[in-house]
Amino acid sequence: MSDRLPGFSTLAVHAGAQPDPTTGARATPIYQTTSFVFNDADHAASLFGLQAFGNIYTRIGNPTNAVLEERVAALEGGTAALAVASGHAAQVVVLQQLLQPGDEFIAARKLYGGSINQFAHAFKSFGWNVVWADPDDVASFERAVTPRTKAIFIESIANPAGSITDIEAISTVARKAGMPLIVDNTLASPYLIRPIDHGADIVVHSLTKFLGGHGNSLGGIIVDAGTFDWSTGGKYPMLSEPRPEYHGIRLQETFGNFAFAIACRVLGLRDLGPALSPFNAFMILTGIETLPLRMQKHCDNAKAVAEFLAGHSAVSAVNYAGLASDKYNQLARKYAPKGAGAVFTFSLKGGYDAGVNLVSKLQLFSHLANVGDTRSLVIHPASTTHSQLDDAAKIKSGAGPDVVRLSVGIEDKEDLIADLEQALST
Amino acid sequence: MNHDAYPDNYIRSILNSVKSIAMVGASPVNVRPSYFAFKYLAQRGYDMIPVNPGHVGKDLLGKPFVASLRDIGRPVDMIDIFRNSSHIMPIVDEALALDPLPKVIWMQLGARDDAAAEKAEAAGIKVVMNRCPKIEYGRLSSEISWMGVNSRTLSSKRPPAPTQGMRLSLNRMSVGGGETAASDRAAKNKSEQS
């Protein structure tokens, strides 16, 4: 056995998957079952006590989902992963392991709108208090740290404008403060950025986007980097203290460098319940096999489209980190040298009406609220997702009345440019 | 040996070659990690010997407890130490007095004593620290993958459906040596600080 390191594309196809022992099936079977038969009473007791390897019930684990988990853990360079029903579910499960009521976490102000809402409102009712910081100002994270802060949360490539976050700088703040850095890597995917290589302790994804990649299945995942020591200072009792629901087991002591992923499974997923359907896991796994091919095409197309828009007379500004003139181009070259992703915004000289007009005229781009599909997508935030905000608030969140967001797909770039050309000129 | 990151081949060759394992600190309490590591290794076909002076006269899954390594009374391939770092050295000294010497001394997850390791290695004994043989066996065979753990191995071969008592193949292709790069670095930083 050689200890040769396979490349990213090999892992994208093979990691976690082997022929089925019973049937020899080469594609990963969909184990569409709620539960699994025990060998005997002793086996059942061992499984429930976390003492033996094996399946119990699909809310806790499922063989199809396990392949997906190992695949993404391998692609991200983590020790273990846990798949859940959505990206939102991943965030709830992660923070449940880290925060007690009254605790705080620091989050970058530039995030997916759904995350801002979840953090500001839903989590408030759990007593988890978000403190916002500016991802373009690392010192603002440092200033936000208090004795109650338990984690820092950022996006690698941030919504809505595809800006690039200085992960290493913020990870230094987290390390100094003795807390884990959580990175939402949805818009980059591990093909473009592997946050663990830059100091992330936990990576979360909406699998719904580029990893699944085909706009057909919801899913989320949590990857444990195996880098954080949960045992010191009693700050993270879910991991360091004996768990009454498992005969006094201490998860960090028992599971070492993948204890966080286990905590998410046996304390989070088991008790909160947002399990991923094995069918969705299968669809997402199939998508991941082509992630390197798709992601490169997404990025190449996005750059061509951004360059076209930057030269168009109806366009006042393009925010794409892949353009040499962009504010985030330096960070993009450092963190995402293969491409700056495929989600970005641009502004129209004609303002709100021009935005509404554009989305109604486009023929190939689909007007909908998602990103990371094979198909090209467009949304005019001011008239849709951000319509409840006043103009000042829209501008502050990067969704001013003149702003349009694209998620560039893997069609032929000439066709995408032609579609934008006709819609902008009519 | 670099004890911050073990190549998979090092762990693999140990788990493939040893037959008998004396577990120092084995507990008869069925919710303790030493108990279920002992049980798992026995189920995977290793000849297990529980060592714990507090339980002499009793047995663990049919194997009689012995008080100390010298009471085993027959050659043993590997000593698995289920004790804190501060208790390692006297046990290694005791192991070094055995004739024949054990081939491997393994210290459990969380346990590490570099001076003891150096002493054992000088006597030609292979040493593993801060790892669990159950986790490593489960990882290299990919049996642990059910819980989303990155086994860091690949295989296109059809495995047998595992049953109790069956030894599993550990000879899958490694994705990389030792732990993942990031967790290695974290472990190294921690050991340098302490």
pLDDT tens digits in sequence order for chain A, 426 residues long: 455 678 999 999 999 999 998 899 999 999 999 999 998 888 888 888 888 888 999 999 999 999 999 999 999 999 999 999 999 999 999 999 999 999 999 999 988 888 998 999 999 999 999 999 999 999 999 999 999 999 999 999 998 889 999 999 999 999 999 999 999 999 999 999 999 999 999 999 999 999 999 999 999 999 999 999 998 778 999 999 999 988 888 999 889 999 999 999 999 999 999 999 999 999 999 999 999 999 999 999 999 999 999 999 999 999 999 999 999 999 999 999 999 999 999 999 999 999 999 999 999 999 998 999 999 999 998 888 777 778 887 787 778 899 999 999 999 999 999 999 999 997
Q: What CA–CA distance (Å, rounded) separates A15 from A13? A: 6
Q: For residue A322, what pLDDT is reported?
A: 97
Q: For residue A263, what pLDDT is reported?
A: 97
For B163, the closest chain A residue by CA position comes to A39
Residue B3 lies in a domain: no
**Pair A212, A88 in one domain:** yes
**Pair A113, A248 in one domain:** yes
Question: The domain that contains A249 carries what CATH number?
Answer: 3.40.640.10
Does A74 contact B at CB distance below 8 Å?
yes
**Pair A69, A215 in one domain:** yes
Residue A249 lies in a domain: yes
Closest partner residue to A5 among B33, B164, B176, by Cβ? B176
CA distances from A73 to A209, A226, B147 (A): 17, 11, 12
Q: 3-class DSSP state for residue B60?
A: strand
Contact criterion met (CB < 8 Å) for B147 and A63: no
Q: Which residues of A374-399 are buried (b: 16+ CB within 10 A; e: fewer)?
A: bbbbbbbbbebbbeebeeeebeebbb
pLDDT surpassing 60 at residue B178: no
Q: What CA–CA distance (Å, rounded) separates A299 from A320? A: 11
Q: What CA–CA distance (Å, rounded) separates B169 from B158? A: 11
Question: The domain that contains B119 carries what CATH number?
Answer: 3.40.50.720
Question: What is the band of B176 on the pLDDT scale with cuts at 50, 70, 90?
Answer: low
Does B29 contact A at CB distance below 8 Å?
no
Amino acid type, B194:
S
Residue A2 lies in a domain: no
Residue B85 lies in a domain: yes
Q: How far apart are the first and last CA of chain B?
A: 19
pLDDT surpassing 70 at residue B179: no
Read out DSSP for B80-113?
Answer: EE-S-GGGHHHHHHHHHTSSSPPSEEEE-TT---
**Pair A101, A212 in one domain:** yes
Residue B77 lies in a domain: yes
Q: What are phi and psi of A224, to 5 degrees?
A: -95, 120
Does A66 contact B at CB distance below 8 Å?
yes
pLDDT surpassing 90 at residue B70: yes
Helices (H), A209-258: 237-240, 251-255
Q: For residue B188, what pLDDT is reported?
A: 75
**Pair A248, A296 in one domain:** no
Contact criterion met (CB < 8 Å) for A53 and B175: no
Dihedral angle over CA of A368, A295, A261, B3, nearest 10: -160
For A65, the closest chain B residue by CA position comes to B148
Q: Pick the last residue of a domain from A287, A311, A331.
A: A287
Residue B1 lies in a domain: no
Does B190 contact A at CB distance below 8 Å?
yes
Contact criterion met (CB < 8 Å) for B174 and A21: no
**Pair A306, A348 in one domain:** yes
B30 contacts in chain A (CB < 8 Å): 49, 51
Q: What CA–CA distance (Å, rounded) separates A69 from A286? A: 13
How close A303 comes to chain B (CA, Å)?
Answer: 31
Question: The domain that contains A412 carries what CATH number?
Answer: 3.90.1150.10
Residue B140 lies in a domain: yes
**Pair A225, A328 in one domain:** no
Residue B54 DSSP label: G
Residue A13 lies in a domain: no
Residue B2 lies in a domain: no
**Pair A279, A306 in one domain:** no
Q: Express each pLDDT in A122-159 by its tens digit.
A: 999 999 999 999 999 999 999 999 999 999 999 999 98
- Interface confidence, given as ipTM, is 0.88
Residue A6 lies in a domain: no
**Pair A254, A239 in one domain:** yes
Residue A11 lies in a domain: no
Give the total number of structural domains in chain A.
2
Q: Which two tokens stand for residue A98?
A: 């880290």
Say if residues A314 and A37 touch (Cβ distance below 8 Å): no
Q: For residue A385, what pLDDT is reported?
A: 76
Contact criterion met (CB < 8 Å) for B175 and A11: yes
Give the total number of structural domains in chain B.
1
**Pair A258, A344 in one domain:** no
**Pair A22, A45 in one domain:** yes
Length of chain B equals: 194
Dihedral angle over CA of B3, B106, B175, A187, nearest 10: -70
Amino acid type, B70:
R
Question: What is the band of B146 on the pLDDT scale with cuts at 50, 70, 90?
Answer: confident
A4 contacts in chain B (CB < 8 Å): 173-174
Residue A10 lies in a domain: no
How close B177 comes to chain A (CA, Å)?
Answer: 6
Residue B69 lies in a domain: yes
Place of tokens 């990155």: B150
Q: Pick the last residue of a domain from A261, A287, A313.
A: A287
pLDDT surpassing 90 at residue B160: no
Nearest by Cα to A363 from A274, A276, A407, A423? A423
Q: For residue B187, what pLDDT is reported?
A: 77
Does B135 contact A at CB distance below 8 Å?
yes
Closest partner residue to A226 among B12, B40, B183, by Cβ? B183
Does B154 contact A at CB distance below 8 Å?
yes
Which B positions 97-116 lie with beta carbon below 8 A of chain A?
A: 109-110
Q: Pick the last residue of a domain from A267, A287, A307.
A: A287
**Owning domain of residue B138:** 8-154+161-193
**Owning domain of residue A145:** 18-287
Closest partner residue to B8 among A3, A253, A254, by Cβ? A3
Residue A116 lies in a domain: yes
Q: Express each pLDDT in B16-39 by its tens digit.
A: 999 999 999 999 998 889 999 999
**Pair A232, A314 in one domain:** no
Q: Express each pLDDT in A200-250 by its tens digit.
A: 999 999 999 999 999 999 999 999 999 999 987 789 999 999 999 888 889
